[in-house]
Amino acid sequence: MTNRKIVIVSDEEINNIEKILLPRDRYFGEEERKIIKCFDRSVDIVAAPGSGKTTVLLAKLIILLNKIPFPDRKGICVLTHTNVAINEIRNKLGEKSKILFDYPNFFGTIQKFVDKFLAIPMYKHMFKKNLRAIDDIMYKKAIKNHFDQKKYRELSWFLENKTKKTFQKKIDALKEIDIRIKENNDIEFMLNKKTILKNKDKPAYKQAKELLWEKVIKEEGILKYKLAYTFANAYIDKFPMLKKYFMNRFKYVYIDEMQDTRSYQIDVLNKIFDDKKIIVQKFGDPNQAIFNDEDDSIDIDWEVKEKPMYISSSKRFGKNIAFFVNQLKTRNGIEIKGNDKVDSFKPHIIIFDNNTIDKVLDKFVDLIEEHKFEKEKGIFKAIGWRKSTNDDKKLSIKSYYPEFNKSTYAFMKSNKVVDIFDAIINSIMDFLKDNSSVFNDISKKNVIYFLEEDYNKFYTQLRRNCINWYLKYVNTNENIVEEIHNFINEGLFKRLSVLEVESFRKILKEHIEKLVFVRKNEKNEYTRNGVKIVIDTVHGVKGETHTATLYLETYYNRKTDIERILEYFKGDKGNRNRILERTLKITYVGMSRPKKLLCIAIHKDTIEKYKDEINNCKMIELLIEFSYL
């Protein structure tokens, strides 16, 4: 990286940024200051849970925004995984953040970046037409609409041989098939990383190509999210000069939550960003590399480069929790330090048996009351890895709380997201009947067609947002009407020059209120004496901070998670296999959520022979305490 003007940052600049980003009693430590000042090289930044790494990234962005435009007129590229992260950064930066959305800068999700710069251009290059949508739900629906088992008989037989007997399971399998574009636009089908339908002369291959490639992708113009990376790779392979384009456009590239980046995303990013010619800095914690669902085939593979920089101090929890969480790390190199200003307690192990498992949540409430946490109006959650099991005798979240009825990311199989979408479309239709002359003959079908054809970006984002609105309503019972109203008003009505929109709010509210999403047992809350415990999965609370967390032992793959890692509780670390490594990451994420108190519910049969060897936790035996009840 020669002939590059290095950004020099003074301590005074950092002191001023502290006043903007940090509470009065907080300051950037030495590790954070070194990272904030680092603008001269590509580097991976490994951060402890609750270390404030996104705040450090914000500090770097503020410094750069104050120096824009650069002499070479290059820009900044900031990549995240969720729109939530984008909104957080936007809110913290305020007006300054607007610059990041203007050329030559880019600020958005990895998916949006790949879609905009690679997948969409390649689709247009191949088919000489515009791509209609990149959306998993629409892709699956298009497969279902076109898949005739009689017409595609050999393909149907092939799926049956893969144990996909029912029509719905065949649709699920077809949706999971990946496609690789080879030279001369030849295609190859992959399933679980293995090539399938290898013989191109066989009817099954031809039918798969006709259904997925010709009908869904080419004619319908729909890709699933992962296929965007297939088209991205094909575009990069066909036009190698793209690498030079990105090198000339971007001076700095920042990737947040790098541990959530999947291997196929990493492959594309590595192809277009040469970290020897562009400053590429990745922020994350490889120990937290779990994705936000229960798909155990998830392939997340961030290999931290040599000589990383570290943020080892957690702002979230104190020394007791830091010491315990350190034992669960799957990656060495960072020793997590607790926050001296947070008084966290020794982890409490709640030991139960089959007769007292229903008292676990009660004991958690007892401990919250004992430490008077409820007076802080804190956040209390009981979390586990597995929601349910096929065998009721095996531990799951439902073993502790039988009413648990949450399906994290199961909305793909649920009509409830579609219900929200329909309610919104019906609201738009009812409103436009009296407030716009756009339609001569207004109907739900016409509204959808109009949005798809004339406002495709808005329509695609609307469908995606329906998922978030559904999750927000179900998980928090939050009123989503105002958020939907603002989105429709900004993205559609203003562009249609419809100014009087107050009545739309009322119409929308009526339609949404007709949908009864949260039944009595879907709140997943246990309340006693005014103390509310939210029950959730580990995946569901990733990134959260709690006052106290109860981790529930659950069964996975012939053992419980706790049974598999008890040696680590003692500080012993043996050889790791893939399942053990996955288990450690799950427990690491779950047990690093609390600020003050970590409780772990463990069956007496699991811990019996280890009780005397674990000396960094307090033991509470429910089988004794509740024997008189």
- Structure confidence by residue, pLDDT tens digits, 453-509: 778 888 888 988 888 888 777 665 567 888 898 899 888 888 887 766 777 888 888
Which pLDDT does position 627 carry in this prediction? 39
Which pLDDT does position 299 carry in this prediction? 54
Where the chain has pLDDT below 70, the residues are 1-5, 83-85, 163-164, 291-300, 406-416, 434-442, 474-478, 499-500, 516-522, 574, 623-629
Beta bridge partners of 337: 313
Which pLDDT does position 37 carry in this prediction? 96
**Pairwise CA distance, residues 41 & 38, whole Å:** 7
Determine contact, residues 94/198, Cβ cutoff 8 Å. Answer: no
Q: Which long-range contacts (CB under 8 A, 24 or more apart) does 170-178 make?
A: 171/140, 171/143, 171/144, 171/147, 172/140, 174/143, 174/147, 174/211, 174/212, 175/136, 175/139, 175/140, 175/143, 175/224, 177/208, 177/212, 178/226, 178/227, 178/230
Task: Sort residue 197 into left (φ over 0), alpha (ψ -120 to 50) or beta.
Answer: left
Here the tokens at position 347 are 């982890």
Determine contact, residues 131/223, Cβ cutoff 8 Å. Answer: yes
Which pLDDT does position 92 carry in this prediction? 78
Determine contact, residues 48/314, Cβ cutoff 8 Å. Answer: yes
**Pairwise CA distance, residues 130 & 168, whole Å:** 30
Which pLDDT does position 440 carry in this prediction? 56
User: What are the two backbone dihedrals, phi and then psi, of residue 313, each rounded to the nearest 5 degrees?
Assistant: -90, 125
Determine contact, residues 250/106, Cβ cutoff 8 Å. Answer: yes
Which pLDDT does position 486 carry in this prediction? 86
Residue with tokens 């077809």, as numbered in its chain? 174
Which pLDDT does position 469 carry in this prediction? 86
Sheet strands (E) in 228-322: 250-255, 279-284, 309-311
Which pLDDT does position 509 carry in this prediction? 85
Cα 73–chain centre separation? 33
Which pLDDT does position 185 carry in this prediction? 78
**Pairwise CA distance, residues 555 & 391, whole Å:** 10
H helix intervals, 38-94 = 53-65, 83-93
HSE-CB of 443 using CA atoms within 13 angstroms: 4
Here the tokens at position 363 are 């004991």
Determine contact, residues 290/538, Cβ cutoff 8 Å. Answer: yes
Closest CA to 434 of 508, 501, 512: 501
